[in-house]
Structure 1
Amino acid sequence: MPIEYRYGSVFDAEHEVQTLVNTVNTNGVMGKGLALEFKKRYPEMFRDYRVRCERGEVRVGEPYLYVSQRPWVLNFPTKKHWRNKSRLEWIAQGLKYFVCNYKQWGITSIAFPQLGTLNGGLQWEEVRPIMEKFLGNLDIPVIIYIYAPRGQKGSQGNGKPA
């Protein structure tokens, strides 16, 4: 299935897709941006994430699925420490891991943010081709949300927003 691009937030799809992707670090902090919003909306998921971090179970390159009520949350580590930047190789490793495991996990539809951009410091122009390489030929619906501040949402569709 082709990737669908939309402007907005992954939360715009929380009643439409089965799984939302949350970008996280590996040290148990969800203090800014998308991760902070996930922490507020899904406090049980945050507690689980923090415990996993304390046990050293959260690693870059290995997103993990939190299953409770819907939506499910795929915590996707894009950086080790919240102060540091994301790395393209960690995005690629994590996407490869996702592609190898999504069927086993039972994921049937998913919404991604622009991985590693904004607070992660990566450029969308570098991240987009990596996401397209791994997600472009999956057999489930995949939506990638292009960040747009409130009130500045653009058009939706299968085009490739800049």
Structure 2
Amino acid sequence: MIVERAGDLLRDDARALVNPVNTAGVMGKGLALQFKRAFPAVFAAYAEACAKGRVSPGKVFCVPVDGARWVLNFPTKRRWRSRSRLDDIESGLDDLARVLAELEIVSVAVPPLGHGHGGLDWGTVRALIAAKLGSSDVDVRLYVPESEGGAVA
């Protein structure tokens, strides 16, 4: 089930928080920068994984935090200056669905992946998220963009 929300994704009490990242090891803008500040150990693990070539489009990089919680680093861009590609969002959502099931995650907070700094159309992204995660038993909390009353991602 998907419920749209506005506000600060980092304050959500979901079992997993999705962090929109690139594959270059840089968390320099937007929500990724907020994650870097809030979870320095997550950034360190992500940067090391990027340096070793273990972060790639279509694959979620999972880091446990606070015992039973997760930060799910979701590559929305190949390079930090690049625009997002819809096919990367689509394959990433497929992997996110797999990860949610594999880790038995019951709730997840998801930003507007690829929108904002990524440049993708929100309506297209929203429809893709709904198609890929809408039939799941997971409580999906979709944070809408600022233009829709939510936060920038």
Show CA shifts across 1:35-90 (max 9, x none). 00000000000000000000000000001211021642000001110000001100
Preserved contact between residue 46 and residue 61 of structure 2 (Cα < 8 Å) = no
Contact 2:56 2:75 in 1 (8 A): yes
Distance 1:49 1:23 in 2: 12
**Residue 108 of structure 1 is aligned with which of 106, 109, 133?**
106
Structure 2 Cα separation of the partners of residues 123 and 101 of structure 1: 25
Match of 1:121 among 119, 122, 127: 119
Unaligned runs of 5+ in 1: 155-162
Percent identity over paired residues: 41
The answer as to 2:36 corresponding to 1:42 is no
> Deviation of residue 153 (structure 1)?
4.9
Q: TM-score, normalised by structure 2?
A: 0.91
Choose 97-106 or 31-40, whichever is displaced more: 97-106
The answer to whether the 8 A contact 1:25-1:82 is kept is yes
Matches of 1:105 and 1:58, distance apart in 2: 19
Runs of at least 5 residues in structure 2 that lack an aligned partner in the other structure? none
Which runs of 4 or more aligned residues in structure 1 lie more than 3 Å from their structure 2 counterparts after TM superposition?
A: none
Displacement of 1:134: 0.6
The size of the alignment, in residue pairs, is: 149
- Contact 1:4 1:143 survives alignment (8 Å): yes
Instruction: Name the CA distance, whole Å, in 2 between partners of 1:9 and 1:93.
Output: 26
Give the aligned partner of residue 91 of structure 2. Answer: 93
- The answer (yes or no) to whether the contact 1:22–1:34 under 8 Å persists in 2 is yes
Matched, 1:136 2:127: no
Q: Which has the larger radius of gyration?
A: 1
What's the offset of the Cα at 1:9? 2.7
> Quick check: 2:18–2:109 contact (8 Å CA) kept in 1?
yes
CA distance in 2, matches of 1:73, 1:103: 15
Residues 1-162 of structure 1 mapped to structure 2, 5 A cutoff: 2-13=1-12, 16-69=13-66, 71-148=69-146, 153=149
